Amino acid sequence: MKQFYTTFFYLLIISLQAQEKTMQFTLDDSYRVQDCDVTGTGNFFILENGSAANRTRLTLLDNDLNEVYRFRGKDRITGEDLIAVSQTGKNAIFRYGGIFRDKDFYRIHESELSGFPGKDPVENRIQFLNDEEFVTIGKKEGAGKRDKDVYLYVKSLSGHNENRAKLDLPGGAEFRKPKLLYFDNEIFIVAWTTKAETTSRKYVCTTYDYRENIHSEAKLDFEVNDKEEEEFATLHLNRDSFSSCQPAGANSDKRTVFAYQLPTEEARGAVVYDSSEKVYYVYAGVRREKGGSGFLVCKYNRSGHPVWKQYHTIAGADFKRTNGFNRYLTFDVTPHFLGISAYSTKGKKYCNFYILKKEDGRVTDSKIFNSYKLQTDRNQYAGLYSRFSSGDKGYKNIVFDRFTVFSSLYNRDFSSFIDAIATKTLLKSYPTACGTNVISVERKARTLIFQKFTF
């Protein structure tokens, strides 16, 4: 009788230059990876769907690649069903059915499944989960557009205690879609936009506890270097940079075809929090009237005072006032460096990667791709997905994500690792406190290989 379980093999490899830990994660024939992601504490979860008795399998690994737990469920749970996953990954809230959701919420706590009395998501509502409480920030049900009151709903994961209280907003802030920067079991941090102009922006980053008390505020002022010649470009900075608007009379079944992609406040500037240093970064794309484009980054201490500000030109990029939806600029904070990626999905092509020093914002290395392709097929590599491929030297045999490029720029051992790959392989990397973990899988293979690289 065939056993439907995941088999782990552990192997420790000690090299002269770096210590690596390697683990194999073998998928059964009837399963594929439906979703995977890294949590706020560096744990990694893998969600599998299959046709066996247990249609859902969720496995959590810590950042040392040790198994934390495995959940097995007879009903299918997809990535669209997940509403929130805690920072550690030990708790998750979901609803069955994708877009045809039932009304009930469920909680996965390690390997156990139980019902959970949750709240339906509404427009602009923020929902997140720590290991003690399920948290919702939003307006009251049925509130009109003129109703500016915002409430904090805190539901204990035990299901017994629920608290609702009015949340104080900083002056000038409105609840359109604030940015959740960080949360743990004690506090959460929200970035409010109080000014959004073409050449300057203002943010207030507020730290709350779960009893609606304000612990601290940091006011961040961010502006271009030359207001006469420069302005913030409209770009895809993160998943909240654009929102879909369905035109009147369009068939709701074809909304992805007909929907307009409208830029939000997040398209001209975004805030990122570094929890290890307790500092803030604001970044944006900048277009110049006389031609040329680049990215602008400013670092602030926990009180909101600027530490440094750096502008860098993006080779090959020329940001216009249109087509911002097809221009991507990402900013990532790791324990060792800052990573910037800039690329286009349509029109003038460019695909550049930069790593910056956290101490002063200087670019320490970069990779400008001469050729690149954006991947759309999620079926070639056991359900895993990475965005890029290239014919450039050192990248010909891999499908890769931005953290793979950042790590190869930062660490020679990691660069040598990808140079040595001779068979078409997908790589998916994520930063850890001591380096980078990378998942690799060959085309049509059923075994995922996890490797831990120490910088």
| Dist CA 41 CA 90 (whole Å) | 11
Separation between Cα atoms, residue 178 and residue 273, nearest integer Å = 14
Coil, helix or strand for 416? Answer: helix
For the stretch 62-119, pLDDT in tens is 988 999 999 998 888 888 888 889 999 999 988 876 555 566 788 999 888 888 876 5
pLDDT tens-place string over residues 24-70? 999 888 888 988 999 988 899 999 998 888 889 999 999 889 999 99
Q: Is the pTM of this model over 0.85?
A: yes
Q: Tell me what the pLDDT averaged over the chain comes to.
A: 86
75-89, 222-236, 384-398: the lowest-pLDDT one: 75-89
Q: Which residues pair with 363 in a beta bridge?
A: 356
User: Which pLDDT belongs to residue 244?
Assistant: 64
Q: Is residue 288 scored above 60 in pLDDT?
A: yes
Quick: pLDDT tens for 254-276: 444 444 578 888 899 999 999 99
Is residue 455 scored above 50 in pLDDT?
yes
Amino acid symbol at 269? G
CA distance 90 to 306: 36
Q: How far apart are CA 22 and CA 422, in angstroms?
A: 19
251 pLDDT above the threshold of 70: no
Query: What is the per-residue pLDDT for 250?
Result: 45
pLDDT digits (tens, 9 = 90+) for 329-367: 999 999 999 999 999 998 779 999 999 999 999 999 999
Q: How far is CA 173 from the centre of its chain?
A: 25
Q: Of the given ranges (111-115, 172-176, 217-221, 303-307), which has the lowest mean pLDDT? A: 172-176
- What is the residue type of 29? D
Q: Which domains does the chain have, with CATH numbers?
A: 225-368 (2.40.10.480)
In three-state form (DSSP H/G/I as H, E/B as E, the rest C), the secondary structure along the chain is CCCCCCEEEEEEEECCCCEEEEEEEECCCCEEEEEEEECCCCCEEEEEEECCCCCEEEEEECCCCCEEEEEEECCCCCCCCEEEECCCCCEEEECCCCCCCCCCEEEEECCEEEEECCCCCCCCCEEEECCCEEEEEECCCCCCCCCCCCEEEEEECCCCCEEEEECCCCCCCCCCCCEEEEECCCEEEEEEEEEECCCEEEEEEEEEECCCCEEEEEEEEEECCCCCCEEECCCECCCCCEEEECCCCCCHHHHHHHCEEEECHHHCCEEEEECCCCEEEEEEEEEECCCCEEEEEEEECCCCCEEEEEEEECCCCCCCCCCHHHEEEEEEECCCCEEEEEEECCCCCCEEEEEECCCCCCEEEEEECCCCEECCCCCCCCCCCCCEECCCCCCCCEEECHHHHHHHHHCHHHHHHHHCCCCCEEEEEEEECCEEEEEEEECCCCEEEEEEEEC
pLDDT for the residue 118: 64
Q: Is the pLDDT of residue 439 over 80?
A: yes
Residue 125 has pLDDT above 90, yes or no: no
Give the model's pLDDT for residue 323. Answer: 66
Q: Please state, in angstroms and rounded to a whole number, the distance separating the CA atoms of residues 35 and 47.
A: 5
Nearest to 185 by CA among 81, 67, 41: 41
The residue ranking higher by pLDDT, 90 or 253, is 90
User: In terms of Cα–Cα distance, which of 275, 279, 378, 209 is closest to 42?
Assistant: 275
Q: Specify the pLDDT at position 403.
A: 98
pLDDT at residue number 13: 37
What is the Cα–Cα distance from 396 to 424, expressed in whole angstroms? 8
- The whole-angstrom separation of Cα 242 and Cα 260 is 9
Q: Interior CA angle at 189 toward 308 and 84, to 5°?
A: 125
Cα separations (Å) of 268 from 201, 231, 296?
A: 9, 9, 11
136 against 282, higher pLDDT: 282
For residue 256, what pLDDT is reported?
A: 47
- Interval 134-160 mean pLDDT: 81
Strands 351-356 and 338-344, bridge-based pairing = antiparallel
Residues 239/298, Cβ–Cβ less than 8 Å: no
Q: Which residue has the higher pLDDT, 201 or 106?
A: 201
The two structure tokens encoding residue 383: 């359900």
Q: Is the pLDDT of residue 328 over 60?
A: yes
Residue 23 has, within 13 A of its CA and on its CB side, a CA count of: 18
pLDDT in tens, 297-315: 999 999 999 999 999 999 9
